Structure 1
Amino acid sequence: MNDKIESSKTNSENQDFVNLIAALDKSLWERYPELKTNYWGNNVIELNPNVIVIYLENKPVACGCFKKYDTNTIELKRMFVSPEARGMGLAQKIIKELELWAHELGFSVCVLETLYKQKEAIGLYQKVGYTIVDNYPPYVGLKNSICMKKQI
């Protein structure tokens, strides 16, 4: 791993995180303009204390977070790697760090939702041990959603 890569645990008020998820939303709406109204409410991040931002040469280039889903389960949210930083293993690094953080907090299961056109994301999640499961709330009945799960 590049020694100019740093990981920072932070919260959702971190301006670098805010800027990265704005870029994520922009890329999603460009790829899925027809879904904006259906999914917008599911992507609002309330104050979240479980955020990781990755810096490459002091520039924020990737992020992810999790929120409590139920007593034993967290949900990965807002995973994003800037185009210029893709292919460096940063998404896997974020996932591992978030899973470890959640495990340290007593959680044993992780779920996530992605969209069917996100082939790279689906492949990444499968590579790190996630399996496709039936859609969980609030994604039940949303045919464009792919839900996944892993024991952590």
Structure 2
Amino acid sequence: MPDRNLIKILRTTSDDPNFRALVKFLDQDLARRDGKDHAFFAQYNNLDTIRHAVVAYDNELPGAIKEYDKYTMEVKRMYTLPESRGKGIASLILSELEEWATELSYSRCILETGIRQPEAIRLYEKNSYQLIPNYGQYKEVASSRCFEKHPGL
């Protein structure tokens, strides 16, 4: 894992222009991977409601959390540029989001990713996320995988 002191992690919102620029790369990647299913998933990825976003400045990587219920934050918009993968930076972003959720008194983080994103699935499993039944709008979506973690416990 990279030295956290060498990478600047900025807590921000989805209004941050760097966050928005990186999310455009994410959306392009997801459109390619999801194919005909992309419109379904895209409707749940609105940036207007994200008040808790993180950008890591080494290779500028985004991630965000938003309230799912009064106990739970949902991890959203995680993306790592292909040339930055495998360096542990995404784990740092995830850790920062979990820490922030804990500071805000949330006891659980959940997330959804797709079966066409094996790198993401490996990232979440490596960071102690447990597979759970699909929730909410993903409940009947065969290509979705949902995970949870209770940070700080």
What is the TM-score of this pair, normalised by structure 2?
0.92
Q: Which residue of 1 aligns with 2:145?
A: 146
**Kept in 2: contact 1:61–1:85 (CA 8 A):** no
Match of 2:79, SS state, is strand
Match of 1:42, SS state, is coil
C-alpha distance in structure 2 between counterparts of 1:37 and 1:119, whole Å = 20
C-alpha distance in structure 2 between counterparts of 1:129 and 1:148, whole Å = 9
Choose which of 33, 43, 47 in structure 2 pairs with 1:45. 47
**Equivalence map 1:13-28=2 (5 Å):** 13-28=15-30
1:38 Cα deviation after fit: 1.4
1:4 Cα deviation after fit: 4.5
C-alpha distance in structure 2 between counterparts of 1:122 and 1:107, whole Å = 23
Structure 1 or 2: larger strand share? Answer: 1
**Equivalence map 1:50-129=2 (5 Å):** 50-56=52-58, 61-129=60-128
1:48 Cα deviation after fit: 1.8
Q: Can you give the 5+ residue segments of structure 2 that lack an aligned partner in the other structure?
A: none
C-alpha distance in structure 1 between counterparts of 2:75 and 2:99, whole Å = 12
Percent identity, aligned pairs only, is 36
CA displacement, residues 32-51 of structure 1 (integer Å, 9 cap, x when unaligned) = 21112211211112232211
C-alpha distance in structure 2 between counterparts of 1:91 and 1:24, whole Å = 13
1:55 Cα deviation after fit: 0.9
**Kept in 1: contact 2:49–2:66 (CA 8 A):** no
Match of 1:30, SS state, is helix
Q: Which residue of 1 aligns with 2:14?
A: 12
CA displacement, residues 120-145 of structure 1 (integer Å, 9 cap, x when unaligned) = 11111011111111110011101111
Match of 1:114, SS state, is strand
**Kept in 1: contact 2:31–2:38 (CA 8 A):** yes
**Kept in 2: contact 1:53–1:64 (CA 8 A):** yes
Name the amino acid aligned to 2:63.
G
Q: Extract structure 1 runs of 4+ deviating beyond 6 A.
A: none
State how many pairs are aligned.
149
More divergent stretch after superposition (42-51 vs 99-108): 42-51
What is the TM-score of this pair, normalised by structure 1?
0.93
